[in-house]
Structure 1
Amino acid sequence: MSESPVPAPGTAGPTLRLDPHPRGAGVLIVRNPRSGRDVIRSDPSDLLAERLPDADIRELVEGESLDDVVDAAIRGPQPPEVLGVLGGDGSVARMAHLARRHDRPLLVLPGGTFNHFARAVGIDGVDAAIDALEAGTGVSVTAAEVSADGEEPKTVLNAVSIGTYPLVVSEREDRMDDLGKWLGGVAAIRRALRDAAPVTVSREGRRARVWSVFVSVGRNDPERLATMQRQTIDDDLLDVRLHHARGSRLRAVASLAFGHKTIAVLRAVGLMPPESDVERLVVRELKLAVTPAPGAPSVYVHDGELEEEALDGFTLRCVVVPDAVRVYAPRA
């Protein structure tokens, strides 16, 4: 894997002292019922009622957004002191954006399929998040902002991607209502094996045809190309992986694996791209002009959320933001 010089890794910051909220007084929690809907897990309603009886718990209804609920609560007679969300990475990232906007700490209650960000800050379940809320322990987390063609920046907690992975996400979302998330994902991978096409990206006067680009918040595992879960909390850098389009579609899809065991198996059978096909950049800001293949969707993904752009392409800008969000988390 070719790469630019990488600064020495930073050390994890100290535990951040936040206001404790026993019983949930002053806490707004918004549940996204669509998060992780294909995953079998116990309903946390009884747990929340038992441990946070004084919290204001809302559930999103059809056509309602996190912004709607939070903005109404902030304008209310008793604005919340903490913004909490029960959902997956997309919902957590959006609530982090609102927490930044309203200068509130964030409570993350994992309720999605993968819960990448929750695991990154040491939260392995709803109980652990409530423990941190009651103890008043947290961390200050580096984030990133992503924008396309000068649109309002969005807060990113894990990663941004263009190329093959957004194609898979786009196809999966089209099929989710009929097949569900997992079967829809299988169908999406089958389509990618048939239809994936290289994307052209331009940066600082240099053009390249790539299968994928992944931009991770903070330095990430050098063995992975699909850096969907961050590995650091306060590393004020972006770790960029570009998979140059020199191999087959099969390699393009195989490179999306992010589990260590899966990667090891795919590498053993020669399906992972060779190091020479992957370029690594470690930067604080990235600007890419993106041109999709003719007929391909013009999309990108941030924290699992799909964004559609102009058909003829777009300019993507990612910027690292130190100390962006205060998050309730177990003691370091």
Structure 2
Amino acid sequence: MASSAARPENIDTPGESGPTERRADPDGMGVLLVANPRSGTSVVRPDPMPEIRRRLPAARIEMLGDSSIDDIVGAAMAGEPPVALAVLGGDGSVSRAAQLARRHGLPLLVLPGGTFNHFARAAGLETVTAALDAFAAGTLRTAAVAEVAVDDGEPITVLNAVSLGAYPELLAEREKRTSLGKWWGGAVAAWREIQGAHRIEVVRDGRRAVVWSVFAGIGHGDPRRIAMMQRSDLDDAVLDLRVHHARGTRLRAVASLAFGRRMLALMRALRLLPPASDLERIVASSVELTVRPGDAPAVFAHDGEIAEAPATGFRLRLRTVSDGLRVYAPAGAARAASEG
């Protein structure tokens, strides 16, 4: 289904040549790097900052603390603007940085520093070293993104997925237990969801459905999976929706959120996954849903981040944008183009 929505004026979608003539230097001159020290705390890995400072000695480095990434980038653009934006963090930080990079017409350097790093892995950036190598080589490529908007609000850039229902509820429950850590907090949240997950009502094209969850991933995903967080490539500008109709139990609603292959195989072996008859797949370039939360929390998730919505109901608009973001990626990535 083609989207007829106009491109929002505050989001810049640059071409491959970029909106500026000045290029970032290999030593990092012209790069604004925003680091989130709270990302990836559940994963034991070497501190990447020594390597980053060694290889980008001229970069301006700002740590997220009392100031948000929006404040940091806004202040930088008001002074001597950077010519490239870099972010060290997880999917939430990278997604927000992508929004700002698009707004200001900057290429994005993604330094994976989160627990899962879904977008970075899809771009071939498995490590900080791989990302710095791509920057040093000056190879840029474009990536398709999605935009999600509530009612007539500002579109939010999405790099991986948008979801409604059980998964945002589980995230909200986990956020209440940050003192337990991500893994234990997630286990407790999952147990709570088994006891009290809510059904929500969605309407699309005049068709009403009561569902446990709706997952919208960017690009065609594995048809055998329900919840998808990592895209298979950066070019596929479609939305792949998986709608889990609320015909089964809460246990199956939570089991359907299994992301990893091993966990998915375990849930399938235990016969906890919902039957195919409870699932619906929709592939489109744009989707509009009317959401009626009922007793459920009025929230949705984008790239693993929770966003609030009107409790009385809201309209969720999703659309893809081809070539919506320029990102540094390995030279072997499809459609890579030398920056020099």
The 5-angstrom pairing of residues 296-307 of structure 1 reads 296-307=296-307
Which residue in the other structure is 1:255 paired with?
256
Paired position in structure 1 for 2:78: 75
Tell me if structure 2 keeps the 8 A contact 1:66–1:95.
yes
Q: Which residue pairs with 2:57 in the alignment?
A: 53
Moved over 2 A (4+): 16-21
Deviating more after overlay: 34-43 vs 187-196: 34-43
Where does residue 318 of structure 1 map in the other structure? Answer: 318
Of 33, 48, 52, which residue of structure 2 is paired with 1:44? Answer: 48
Tell me which residue corresponds to 2:177: 175
Give the deviation of 1:138 after TM superposition: 2.4
Letter in 2 for 1:68: D
Distance 1:299 1:181 in 2: 20
Does the 8 Å CA contact 1:17/1:138 hold for their aligned counterparts?
no
**Residue 27 of structure 1 pairs with residue 28 of structure 2:** no
Code of the residue aligned with 2:210 in structure 1: it is: R
TM-score by length of 2: 0.90
1:66 and 2:62 are equivalent in the alignment: no
Instruction: State whether residues 287 and 317 of structure 2, in contact with CA within 8 Å, keep that contact through their aligned partners in structure 1.
Output: yes
Alignment of 1:117 onto 2:106: no
SS of 1:131's equivalent? helix
Aligned to 1:211: 212
Q: Which letter maps to 1:110?
A: P
2:167 matched to which residue of 1? Answer: 165
Cα-to-partner distance string for 1:232-289 (whole Å, 9 max, x where unaligned) = 2111111111011111111100100111122122112211111111100100111111
- The residue aligned with 1:84 is 86
1:239 is paired with a residue whose SS is strand
User: In structure 1, how many angstroms separate the alpha carbons of the residues matched to 2:161 and 2:253?
Assistant: 18
The match for 1:191 is 192
What are structure 2's unaligned runs of at least 5 residues? 2-15, 334-340
How far does residue 198 in structure 1 lie from its aligned partner after superposition? 1.1
Q: How many residues align?
A: 314
Q: Which amino acid aligns with 1:96?
A: A
| Residues 23-52 of structure 1: per-residue CA shift (max 9 Å, x gap) | 111111000122122222211111111111
Q: Secondary structure at the match of 1:185?
A: helix
CA distance in 2, matches of 1:138, 1:273: 41
Alignment RMSD, CA only?
Answer: 1.4
Residue 286 of structure 1 aligns to a residue in which SS? strand
1:184 is displaced (CA, Å) by 1.2
Contact 2:24/2:83 (<8 A) preserved: no
Structure 1 residue 20: Cα displacement: 6.2
Alignment partner, residue 150 of structure 2? 148
Q: Map Cα deviations across residues 86-126 of structure 1 (whole Å, 9 max, x no partner).
A: 00101101100111010010000001111000000000111
- 8 Å contact 2:34–2:63 — kept in the other structure? yes
1:137 deviation in Å? 1.0
Task: Name the residue aligned to 2:238.
Answer: 237
CA distance in 2, matches of 1:260, 1:173: 25
Secondary structure of 1:23's counterpart equals coil
